[in-house]
Structure 1
């Protein structure tokens, strides 16, 4: 039997043979549920055991109280993991994505969460809620209320029910209509929330401009007190100044610590405030305080307060011990400037010589920080953060952070913006924890011990754009969901970037001269990696255990140095950076002859068809013939080059206009044709399912027709 290319149209016989093999060649992996190949129809599993995709149920604000996202769990034919989708619309959209079938196979069984007996309602803000979780029901057997007033953070949400009476009662109270699964399949859903984050990135930049302009206005106040003329010390001057006035601090060194309890501006004229080495030098406890034109030194060296953390654990319990330790420990250390419950803080043209944190913000001390310089300790273990932000949104621009532990550490600081700043010789440059909807843009990172940008601990919606990271252990490592990582330049690092954020978009990044260009880390791939340039890396990309990763978007892939060598037209042969042969094409000329050999060609055709042969692999079916960002690539590789800049705001604005037009056209076409997939794909998938000798029949449409269930792939 001839073996056909799995990325073309496999023969019917091959599909049948592979279908039998795939249904029994399922391997359990620690940390995720593995489907039982002996079961005729797999039963639902506890949702904690699935690998989640779609909208993050962990981090969104709706996950307080009784608000919920209806969930789906799906067993795929070529994937050992049960995949959980947060949002029925996320699964419905995945069925129309040919890439999902290529990576996971077709869905053998799918269950949705139905809410007949859970008292479904909506919150005051329109979020869907219920008194308890739903019951698992086969997707094809359920009924769905669409176009109701029930919402999730991503927009309209579909609410499933087992019985028509319960669905009609919910629709009567909340609007919408009741439809079956096939109708849901024909609807169009905008579930590409990573693209939404991409579209919002320029707006976040504009919002930062607005915050900075407002901060300038707050800081510009009439002079009321001059230190040395109207008061002997800065502390005395601040105490004497009426609210909404300015305290002028002339040139000189002032050995004191002070607390600001009124909304005033402290404006230095080249002044230096020096503490005694104990505690924080300046403490702000009032809203709308501005500190400008000074140097701060002489804080204590305490980086955290163990007693505060212990008291917090006793008060809040042990369920979030680590989070409590961080917030109450890190948030109670020493700093050059410390703000407690002080929203509207403005710090402009300030230098801090930091023994611990440069600036410490907590309890909603939202701040605008411009032209800040923090000189940290030479050994990062001896110091702390340039900026520590605890539950305080920051807007940082045109600043520099050198030495110390982390340049900027933000914890539950949603909506923060860090841009146009420089980081050098830190442990991490920017380090986000539990922080979502942030913009990290146009920053430069050099010689960072662990990473330029690291995002951890269940965030969502972050945009990391236009940054330049060099000579560091890692460039960008961002976890969570719905991230946009684009237009970054990553040169000379041990690792350029990792694709550890789920449901995210990685595009237009330049990974050059790194030990490793990119690493695929999520067990179940759910992100798009497209239009990136990989040049001069010792290895372009590697992947951990899991399903096949398809790094392309339709006919648009990535540029891989070496991918287009050999006797074929550029872009017409798939490239596998994880293949020992393909991965060597840009380093060893002799690898071209090996790649074109019959044995390697056969192996390429088999790879990706069975789980055992596809684990830890990446394929780009449409490698680009030329770099996507040639000018930035040239700038990145130029000797002694400064940061490579991308005009990403203009390009994203142009792309958004094009995408809006395309989306409207596609929606009109899909709604006119009824959606779905072609009859040939339905036939092949149905035959593949039946080839399993009855081991598994499709549960998706068990109440209608088995062949239609297979067609849902």
Structure 2
């Protein structure tokens, strides 16, 4: 057996260089991270200069106008950033979680904004409102009203005041009682968290089942199968009217327009609640504008093929008007993206059903705007070969969309949603898009059991700080990135991410990433938030070029109590599995899954010294990740094996059963779009909403020293 010399030429020079660089980094940046509370107390900063955590005030349009979330800003002893918390209760929840102090140090000073002179009150919807905040004061000098009628979109709101008399007056008007800071910090608050989103994911699936069932139920309300007229045959194109458009114009409300097989060269406008039911019927536009425009509620379109769509992807004039109006990016997107050409365009048309429809387009397939809530099933959109030449398969602007059992190939984005809260995208296939599913300003959505292949930039991308999204059971391969979700309180679980540039990023704050399998990616996961506030636990990292990377910021602790993630290579060495912390961003640990000989270097005295350096010199650990309890074996070995096979069908584990929402065999909605491999791991245990406890840290013994306990 060959003996590896950890101090030999190959490893010795690398380790020495790393150690020297680590010492220099620590000396250079220690002053930026640490502060001495005995010498000076920092003054509060402008809140825009803080790094926000907790509920984002932009996550819900309910917070427009005078509605407010009382804010906190905290200076931590080991953190160079001022941390801002939206909600006093969101900061209180961190005080005893065992992770925050370990990563950030202890709070040097805490400031809260008060509302004594801001005309505080409660909106008709129960949201806390005030004309303005009065001043920032130390938290222990404020008086707080708890248990009042005021709340935020995340739950109970604690309202701070500089004067106890003002707080008492607010409580007299709106309920609650007045407490000092010590009593507030000892309370528990019922606020939404990523665990809440996790528990709601199966219910969102079931709600989508109900929407689809209601939309497809036969009847005279415009649903599929609804008829009208004097007999069950409805109005037949070619017999009762010469064209589809003429038949629709002549049809009474809730009638069915039957379109026999053939090609119909025309455009159609629907102004009544009718069903257009095709039978191998193709509707072909003239290459200008949209082919079918719907301007009425409760319209059903089924059994149609559509082509001849115009190639305008947005309306320059509408975008110009938006720029003149307020110039905001959000308005430009809504007016620009929402005014292009489409195979089906719906304007103020709630209750739209699109079923068994195929669209060929270089613009949008289905464009929904102005509250055109829709159910879309068995839709196929074939877009442009180059995404730069096309647009969206489904564009939803301020319209809740339920998409199921559909396929989107080519074009810009498969599904693009903008301010479309509560949407569901499931059981669908996305191939060769720029982004497969792309959400903007959209929260409380479910993206589940989809397959994404060859996305130029990313399979699933969520932008602009939404809240409460669940991304579950998806299979993303051969794409620029698997999942990139921003915002707050996201649940990202049970996804399979293979052979991508990046598996997933932890961009969403206060979120939970669990039970994901990252196999064969260039980077398995990337920690992107400057101030870590999410939990990353029970994920499997196998065969990645680099298991994980981290941008600038504090130490990230990726574990939940005594349970961490599985890292291929972490259990190699002299220690028992799980008895030594694993650092996927450290120079030696990062190569263990590629070169097992590195285990000898990891056990060397020099590496142990470097570990201690990372723990004791805050600057040296910038941009690092540590897992204090790496798992000895994969949590989902079946999924890992399947993801390693390039010929395996899409993998969709039965996460609904795991999360308590019933299985596919018990409910409708089985994946019929793509082959499905249901992988169940009998020893899997679900992540809780717990955190790294002080007891767990203490129990780690010498391991904790290496990880930098202060």
Alignment of 1:538-549 (within 5 A): 538-549=545-556
1:635 maps onto 2:645 in alignment:
no
Alignment of 1:685-696 (within 5 A): none
Alignment of 1:479-628 (within 5 A): 479-628=486-635
Which stretches in structure 2 are left out of the alignment for 5+ residues? 1-22, 218-222, 228-232, 663-683, 699-709
Give the distance between the partners of 1:662 and 1:463, measured in 2 at CA: 16
Of the three residues 20, 27, 40, the one matched with 2:32 is: 27
Report the counterpart of residue 241 of structure 1 in structure 2.
251
Cα distance change of structure 1 residues 611 and 389 upon mapping to structure 2, 3 Å threshold? same
Give the distance between the partners of 2:31 and 2:435, measured in 1 at CA: 39
Report the counterpart of residue 317 of structure 1 in structure 2.
326
Deviations 1:620-661 (A, max 9, x none): 001011111122222222351001111111111189xx9999
Tell me the CA shift for residue 187 of structure 1: 1.1
Give the distance between the partners of 1:660 and 1:183, measured in 2 at CA: 33
Tell me the CA shift for residue 62 of structure 1: 3.1
Helix, strand or coil for the counterpart of 1:537? coil
Give the distance between the partners of 1:68 and 1:390, measured in 2 at CA: 26
- Number of equivalent positions: 641
Tell me the CA shift for residue 59 of structure 1: 2.2
Tell me the CA shift for residue 590 of structure 1: 1.3
Tell me the CA shift for residue 567 of structure 1: 0.8
Of the three residues 434, 440, 443, the one matched with 1:427 is: 434
Give the distance between the partners of 1:132 and 1:649, measured in 2 at CA: 44
Of the three residues 249, 261, 265, the one matched with 2:275 is: 265
Alignment of 1:349-368 (within 5 A): 349-368=356-375
Helix, strand or coil for the counterpart of 1:27? helix
TM-score normalised per structure 1: 0.87
Give the distance between the partners of 1:456 and 1:652, measured in 2 at CA: 26
Give the distance between the partners of 1:355 and 1:96, measured in 2 at CA: 54
Tell me the CA shift for residue 168 of structure 1: 1.1
Helix, strand or coil for the counterpart of 1:364? coil
Contact 1:24–1:37 under 8 Å retained in 2: no
Contact 1:26–1:36 under 8 Å retained in 2: no
Cα distance change of structure 1 residues 27 and 660 upon mapping to structure 2, 3 Å threshold? closer
Helix, strand or coil for the counterpart of 2:31? coil
Deviations 1:125-147 (A, max 9, x none): 11111111241111111111111
Cα distance change of structure 1 residues 568 and 264 upon mapping to structure 2, 3 Å threshold? same
Cα distance change of structure 1 residues 267 and 24 upon mapping to structure 2, 3 Å threshold? closer
Give the distance between the partners of 1:254 and 1:484, measured in 2 at CA: 46
Tell me the CA shift for residue 35 of structure 1: 7.6
Helix, strand or coil for the counterpart of 1:480? coil
Cα distance change of structure 1 residues 608 and 60 upon mapping to structure 2, 3 Å threshold? farther
Report the counterpart of residue 15 of structure 2 in structure 1.
none
Alignment of 1:5-24 (within 5 A): none
Cα distance change of structure 1 residues 63 and 23 upon mapping to structure 2, 3 Å threshold? farther
1:296 maps onto 2:306 in alignment:
yes
Contact 1:517–1:541 under 8 Å retained in 2: yes
Cα distance change of structure 1 residues 22 and 215 upon mapping to structure 2, 3 Å threshold? farther
Report the counterpart of residue 74 of structure 1 in structure 2.
74
1:447 maps onto 2:457 in alignment:
no
Deviations 1:380-434 (A, max 9, x none): 1111111111111110000000011111111111111000000001111001111
Tell me the CA shift for residue 200 of structure 1: 1.0
Cα distance change of structure 1 residues 650 and 412 upon mapping to structure 2, 3 Å threshold? same
Tell me the CA shift for residue 22 of structure 1: 10
1:150 maps onto 2:162 in alignment:
no
Helix, strand or coil for the counterpart of 1:612? helix
Q: Which runs of 4+ in 1 moved over 6 A?
A: 21-24, 34-39, 658-663
Helix, strand or coil for the counterpart of 1:26? helix
Deviations 1:480-527 (A, max 9, x none): 111111110000111100111111111110000111100111111111
Give the distance between the partners of 1:333 and 1:291, measured in 2 at CA: 20
Contact 1:462–1:482 under 8 Å retained in 2: yes
Report the counterpart of residue 467 of structure 2 in structure 1.
460
Alignment of 1:223-242 (within 5 A): 223-242=233-252
Give the distance between the partners of 2:117 and 2:628, measured in 1 at CA: 47
1:51 maps onto 2:51 in alignment:
yes
1:469 maps onto 2:486 in alignment:
no
Alignment of 1:180-191 (within 5 A): 180-191=180-191
Give the distance between the partners of 2:561 and 2:526, measured in 1 at CA: 21
1:221 maps onto 2:231 in alignment:
no
Which stretches in structure 1 are left out of the alignment for 5+ residues? 1-17, 29-33, 667-675, 682-712
1:91 maps onto 2:91 in alignment:
yes
Report the counterpart of residue 113 of structure 1 in structure 2.
113
Give the distance between the partners of 2:358 and 2:121, measured in 1 at CA: 53
Helix, strand or coil for the counterpart of 2:652? coil
Give the distance between the partners of 1:639 and 1:661, measured in 2 at CA: 29
Cα distance change of structure 1 residues 157 and 677 upon mapping to structure 2, 3 Å threshold? farther
Which has the larger displacement, 123-132 or 573-582?
123-132
TM-score normalised per structure 2: 0.87
Contact 1:298–1:355 under 8 Å retained in 2: no
Contact 1:197–1:463 under 8 Å retained in 2: yes
Helix, strand or coil for the counterpart of 1:95? coil
Report the counterpart of residue 15 of structure 1 in structure 2.
none
Give the distance between the partners of 1:26 and 1:396, measured in 2 at CA: 52
Report the counterpart of residue 130 of structure 2 in structure 1.
130
Deviations 1:595-615 (A, max 9, x none): 000010111122133321111
Give the distance between the partners of 2:162 and 2:332, measured in 1 at CA: 44
Which has the larger displacement, 469-478 or 136-145?
136-145
Contact 1:224–1:242 under 8 Å retained in 2: no
Helix, strand or coil for the counterpart of 1:25? helix
1:332 maps onto 2:344 in alignment:
no
Give the distance between the partners of 1:94 and 1:547, measured in 2 at CA: 16
Deviations 1:208-238 (A, max 9, x none): 1111111112222114300111111111111
